[in-house]
Amino acid sequence: MITKTVVVQGMDDQEDVNKVRLALHEVWGVDSVEVSLSKKKATFTYDETAASFRDFEQAVHELGYEIKTEDGVAE
């Protein structure tokens, strides 16, 4: 299992948080997801043999959000 914390660009309210959380939860292999509006971050744990970071990136991108690693770079 891998745990990633990412910055979510474009989240402005609780509805956005719910959309991002649901999108991340729907990725195959995800174990847990936490999304913080105040920090504009999401932390998720997943099975690296079932999913890749790119899968999570695509899931939120389809909703109009972008995720970057905490150092500000996409993986």
Q: Identify whether 28 is part of a domain.
A: yes
DSSP string, 4-70: EEEEEET--SHHHHHHHHHHHHTSTTEEEEEEETTTTEEEEEE-TTT--HHHHHHHHHTTT-EEEET
Q: Identify whether 27 is part of a domain.
A: yes
Number of folded domains in the chain? 1
> Mind listing the pLDDT tens digit for each residue in 1-55?
999 999 999 999 999 999 999 999 999 999 999 999 999 999 999 999 999 999 9
Q: Identify whether 6 is part of a domain.
A: yes
- Residue 61 maps to which CATH number? 3.30.70.100
> Mind listing the pLDDT tens digit for each residue in 60-73?
999 999 998 876 55
Full domain range(s) for residue 61: 2-69
Q: Identify whether 30 is part of a domain.
A: yes
